[in-house]
A and B are shown apart, each in its own frame.
Chain A
Amino acid sequence: MEKLKLATVWLGGCSGCHMSFLDLDEWLFDLAAAVEVVFSPIADVKQFPEQVDVTLIEGAVANEEHLELVRMIRARSRMVISFGDCAVTGNVTAMRNVLSSSAEAVLNRAYRELPTFNPRIPDEAGIVPPLLERVLPVHAVIPVDVFLPGCPPPAPRIRAALQALIEGKTPEMIGREMLKFG
């Protein structure tokens, strides 16, 4: 049987979901036997590959690089999973939306008004991706197949979801163990 091609990506989030993923401990060996990790922040792959079976997206869509990447992910993945509260709701990443509906005002607040020394908005064309005006949950940009909430999703919840996917089933997201936000 051909191995499931699994990708994980890290957008506007703290990487806590990926830390929780690593909390799967020795089950990672079983996972490694069942899937091929084709793209991940913990694998040295530069370009998101073609024909991925399952992609876990951690983080909200916060800048233009994220926007471009999620569209590419959707086009190249059979199944897309919003992985953690930032991907599902915007969560902490989207708290800047409350400050203003413009990225300019948010950048001014963070980089001009608050710093004591050298206030300057980071701006390196081609290196620092411009912020979107508003942070968006992933499903506001592309269709999402499964939502895996939690901040971070506890390791047993990630395991239950991945186990189902490996067996070719859609994970059942029901009840406190699988569905609690926060």
Chain B
Amino acid sequence: MSVVTLKINDQDVSARDDATVLQAAREAGIHIPVLCYLEGLSAVGACRLCLVEVAGVNRLLPACTTRVQEGMMVQTNTPRLQNYRRHIVELLFAERNHVCAVCVANGNCELQALAIEVGMDHVRYDYMFPALGVDLTHERFGLDHNRCILCTRCVRACDEIEGAHTLDVLGRGAKARIVTDLNMPWGESPTCTSCGKCAMACPTGAIFKQGSTVAEMVHHPEKLAFLKVARERREWRV
């Protein structure tokens, strides 16, 4: 391992050469908004909220999957990026049925918090109003597709941390859905261990504990990183 030096928002930053721009920024206390990225899970660069400008590169790069380089010049919060981020958040709200007022995650939602952060006072796109279902067949958890933003944090938590790979994505584009096993009701899944890591990982109210009502669902995404680090350091004897 060696250390590289780069500039983020004109600030000198040093980082390990295998770090991502996002990790380097976080180390330096520079905030970059994310949705699909979660500490402890692999990075997929899907939500595009962490896009940054890198001098000499004529396209925008996701900070979560871009490695740092010596002498790199990064801008994380230009007017162009702010504009794109607001459009991304508006598109997420327009694509499915996000009704904060009646959502279990109201007040504890990363999408709702991002809307505030990007200054979304209204959505300029037409709402799609797709007819989507809610899977309440599992005895402990529910999956509401209306509130899902397809960040795949649940899929990665289930696969990478729990090792069950019950959850996955079916279909493409606007028709994509989170499914359990081979698209069967969650309650009939032979692989689900009912561990609840998907509910910890979910940034919105899409995966929730059964019985939660409006504003009651608090996710615990930080617990997944804790588990991963504790396992790597072998903090528990098994």
Residues of chain A at the chain B interface (Cβ within 8 Å)? 82, 85, 88-92, 94-95, 97-99, 101, 134, 137, 139-140, 144, 147, 149, 151, 173-176, 179-182
Contact A88 B101 (CB under 8 A): no
CB of A33, distance to nearest CB on chain B (Å): 29
Contact A147 B116 (CB under 8 A): no
Contact A92 B97 (CB under 8 A): no
Quick one: which of B107, B127, B131, B132 has the most chain A CB within 10 A?
Answer: B127
Residue B10 is within 8 A (CB to CB) of chain A in the complex: no
A-B contact pairs, 16 of them (CB 8 A): A85-B100, A85-B101, A89-B123, A90-B127, A91-B99, A91-B101, A98-B146, A99-B131, A149-B121, A151-B100, A179-B116, A179-B119, A180-B100, A181-B115, A182-B101, A182-B107
Contact B127 A182 (CB under 8 A): no
CB of A101, distance to nearest CB on chain B (Å): 8
**CB closest residue in chain B, given A152:** B101
Contact B130 A98 (CB under 8 A): yes
User: Once the chains are docked, how many angstroms separate the CA of A95 from the CA of B132?
Assistant: 12
Contact A180 B112 (CB under 8 A): yes
Contacts of A173 in B (CB 8 A): 119, 121
CB of A156, distance to nearest CB on chain B (Å): 16
* Interface mask (B92-121 → A, CB under 8 Å = 1, otherwise 0): 010001011111001100001101100111
User: Once the chains are docked, how many angstroms separate the CA of A61 from the CA of B131?
Assistant: 21
Contact A89 B122 (CB under 8 A): yes
**CB closest residue in chain A, given B124:** A139
Contacts of A97 in B (CB 8 A): 127, 129
Contacts of A149 in B (CB 8 A): 121-122
CB of A79, distance to nearest CB on chain B (Å): 15
Contacts of A82 in B (CB 8 A): 122
Contact B119 A94 (CB under 8 A): no
Contacts of A176 in B (CB 8 A): 113, 116
Residue B126 is within 8 A (CB to CB) of chain A in the complex: yes
Contacts of A95 in B (CB 8 A): 97, 99
Contacts of A144 in B (CB 8 A): 122
Which B residues, 150 to 171, have Cβ-Cβ distances below 8 Å to chain A?
none
Quick one: which of B101, B103, B107, B115 has the most chain A CB within 10 A?
Answer: B101
Contact B131 A147 (CB under 8 A): no
Contacts of A85 in B (CB 8 A): 100-101
Our pick among B101, B112, B121, B126 for the contact of A92 (Cβ within 8 Å) is B101
Our pick among B100, B107, B120, B129 for the contact of A94 (Cβ within 8 Å) is B129
CB of B42, distance to nearest CB on chain A (Å): 31
User: Once the chains are docked, how many angstroms separate the CA of A95 from the CA of B113?
Assistant: 22
User: Once the chains are docked, how many angstroms separate the CA of A149 from the CA of B126?
Assistant: 18
User: Once the chains are docked, how many angstroms separate the CA of A180 from the CA of B109?
Assistant: 11
Contacts of B146 in A (CB 8 A): 98
User: Once the chains are docked, how many angstroms separate the CA of A181 from the CA of B205?
Assistant: 14
Q: Given contacts A85-B101, A92-B101, are A140 and B126 in contact (CB under 8 A)?
A: yes
Contact A147 B122 (CB under 8 A): yes
Contact A98 B122 (CB under 8 A): no
Contact A182 B121 (CB under 8 A): no
Q: Given contacts A91-B101, A95-B99, A181-B100, are A174 and B127 in contact (CB under 8 A)?
A: no
Contact A179 B131 (CB under 8 A): no
Contacts of B121 in A (CB 8 A): 88, 147, 149, 173, 179
**With A90-B127, A134-B129, A137-B123 already in contact, 16 other A-B pairs whose C-beta atoms are closer than 8 Å:** A92-B102, A98-B129, A98-B130, A98-B131, A99-B131, A101-B129, A149-B122, A173-B119, A176-B113, A179-B115, A179-B116, A179-B119, A179-B120, A180-B100, A182-B99, A182-B107
